[in-house]
A = this chain, B = another copy of it.
Amino acid sequence: MNIRFYNAKILTPAEGHSFAVVEGELWVKGNTICYLGDGSDVSEVVTGDEIVIWDREIDAKGNLLMPGFKNAHTHTAMTFLRSFADDLPLQSWLTDAVFPREGQLTEDDIYWLDILGIMEYLTSGITSNFDMYFFPPKNAQASVDCGFRTVQTSGLNNFGGSVEQVEENYHIVNDMGELSSFIIGFHAEYTTSKELMEGIAALAQKCHSPVFLHNAETELEVRECKERWGMTPTQLTDALGMYEYGGGGYHCVHMEDADFEIFKKRHLTAVTNPASNLKLASGVAPIKRFLDEGIALAIGTDGPASNNCLDMFREMFLTTALAKVREKDAACVPAEEVLYMATAGGAHCMGLDDCDCLAVGKKADIIMIDLQQPNMQPQNHIVKNLVYSGSKQNVIMTMVNGRILYEAGQFYIGFDPAEIYAKANAIIGRMK
């Protein structure tokens, strides 16, 4: 499909982590942005090697085109446990509610639950996710079938899987086409033996892959890791040789000085999950210090059972607002930094360098934001409006890889929403 957007405001990258707004046109040819500008130089493009025939021309009516959000940490298929067992202490939530039911999930269940999560991503302008869950190839298949872009990692731990399986999944998922990729990872230090972690380090070196894991999510996790190994999770995983090709940690709430040093030295990304960290009473991550130290940041929703929604607007607001109250400094972690984390920051840590911003040659992972809504008015500052006031309600189009998957409240993913809802209710219904 070739699609021309006109009468648009277009959010483009500017110096550092800031943004500029171009008024004009954006053209998509296949899965790629082929023109972006004010339209004054259009004739050059049209008279180039190839004349573009438009399948659609879309009047943006002054609304905003911007890069889709990258949800840099989630467990998508946990949709079945949304609102199933909240308001419980963490331990009984996990052992009594979550684990016994996850054990009953089939590959087929995961496929349908994943599609439910993908639909929710689309309503929030999320164009790709970094997913950790059971059966990565099945997970990836759901994304590919919807036209959605997913980076999988492994949740390997002592209770299931092997390094050999991770290697197999690495190749299967990376070979599933341009919408699907795999980065090596494992669940967390506190659930994984040293032997498995050593295997993961060796595999990462063999595959030249970064490594991701849950890292420093809770105080207890860090304390017990230090009791076991005399090192924090960051120090231990670095000592095991995990980060030859980079990687990073999910959560990164309870960090020590030496951990920041390792993140800098190894060029790791801290993926923050603020709503989950509140709801599970884990704490507030030191976002200002990561920024001050020049450490890369990205934002994730975590899974729908621990959040419970998959909404990057809420996560963006929390990323800055929690930093402000943590540091007692209303000026820290400004809006532009947050929007950068939620778009380019996520893309870079997920290996999606060609989806990080709107520019010619980049993949067409684009959303349209309705600025003609009261929460986007007056237009004093578009980026601040997005970060402090934005809502799913403002997302009027989500395009992934050049295909419109969500527009004006309707899904174009090849599945009937009512069927997906019925499947999800039946899966959890079976387990009640």
- A86 and B386 CA atoms in complex are apart in Å by 13
Determine the residue in chain B with the shortest Cβ distance to A80.
Answer: B378
B330 adjacent to A279 (CB under 8 Å): yes
Contact B393 A392 (CB under 8 A): yes
A87-B331, A384-B83 known; A421-B378 Cβ under 8 A: yes
Residues of B within 8 A of A400 (CB): none
Residues of B within 8 A of A334 (CB): 86-87
Contact with B along A85-115 (1 / 0, CB 8 A): 0111110010000000000000000000000
Q: For the complex, is A177 an interface residue (Cβ under 8 Å from B)?
A: no
Q: Are B116 and A374 in contact (CB under 8 A)?
A: yes
Separation of A390 and B314 alpha carbons in the complex (Å): 11
Tell me if A205 counts as interface (CB < 8 A to partner B): no
By the criterion CB–CB under 8 Å, are B284 and A84 in contact?
Answer: no
Evaluate contact between A310 and B421: CB separation under 8 angstroms.
no
Q: Is the CB of B378 within 8 A of A79?
A: yes
A158 at the interface (CB under 8 A from B): no
Closest B residue to A386 using CB positions: B83
Known interface pairs A328-B281, A392-B391; A82-B380 also in contact (CB < 8 Å): yes
**Contacting residues, chain B, for A320 (C-beta < 8 A):** 87, 279
The stretch among A117-125, A196-204, A240-248 that forms the contact with chain B is A117-125
Q: A324-B281, A388-B83 are in contact. Are A374 and B119 (CB under 8 A)?
A: yes
- Residue A322 at the chain B interface, CB threshold 8 Å: yes
CA–CA, A281 to B320, complex, Å?
Answer: 10
CB contact under 8 A between A330 and B88, given known A79-B377, A374-B123, A380-B82: yes
Q: How far is the CB of A382 from chain B (nearest CB, A)?
A: 8
CA distance A14 to B221 in the complex (A): 40
A421–chain B nearest beta-carbon distance, Å: 5
Interface string of A276-287 (1 = CB under 8 A from B): 011111111000
For A333, the closest partner residue in chain B by CB is B87
Interface residue? A418 (CB, 8 A): yes
Name A388's contact: one of B86, B328, B330, B425 (CB within 8 Å). Answer: B86
The answer, yes or no, to whether A57 is at the interface (CB within 8 Å) is no
A83 contact set on B, CB distance < 8 A: 380-381, 384-385, 388-389
Interface size on A, residues (CB 8 A): 73
Alpha-carbon distance A82/B374, docked complex (angstroms): 11
Residue from A308, A385, A420 having most chain B Cβ neighbours under 10 A: A308
A373 touches B325 (CB 8 A): no
Contact A309 B89 (CB under 8 A): no
Which B residue's beta carbon lies closest to that of A382? B83
Q: Do A281 and B325 have beta carbons less than 8 Å apart?
A: yes
**Docked pose: A334 CA to B279 CA in angstroms:** 11
Taken residue by residue from 297 to 325, chain A's Cβ proximity to chain B (1 for < 8 Å, 0 otherwise) reads as 00000001001111100100100111011
How far is the CB of A125 from the nearest CB of chain B, in Å? 11
Q: Is the CB of A308 within 8 A of B84?
A: no
| A392–B392 alpha-carbon span in the complex (Å) | 7
A109 to B406, CA, bound (A): 38
Is B330 touching A378 in the complex (CB atoms < 8 A)?
no
In the complex, what's the smallest C-beta–C-beta distance from A395 to chain B, in angstroms? 8
Measured in the bound complex, the distance between the Cα atoms of B314 and A90 in whole Å is 22
Chain B nearest Cβ from A406, distance in angstroms: 10
* A427 neighbours in B (Cβ, 8 Å): 378
A379 contacts B425, CB within 8 Å? yes
Chain B residues within 8 Å of A417, by CB:
372, 374
- Given contacts A87-B331, A393-B393, 20 further A-B pairs with CB under 8 A are A79-B377, A82-B378, A83-B381, A86-B335, A87-B332, A87-B384, A89-B329, A123-B373, A123-B374, A123-B393, A281-B327, A307-B389, A309-B388, A309-B391, A314-B317, A372-B417, A372-B418, A374-B420, A377-B424, A392-B393
Q: List 16 A-B contacts (CB under 8 A).
A: A80-B378, A82-B378, A87-B330, A93-B330, A116-B377, A275-B317, A279-B324, A279-B330, A283-B325, A304-B389, A308-B388, A309-B391, A310-B375, A378-B428, A380-B428, A391-B392
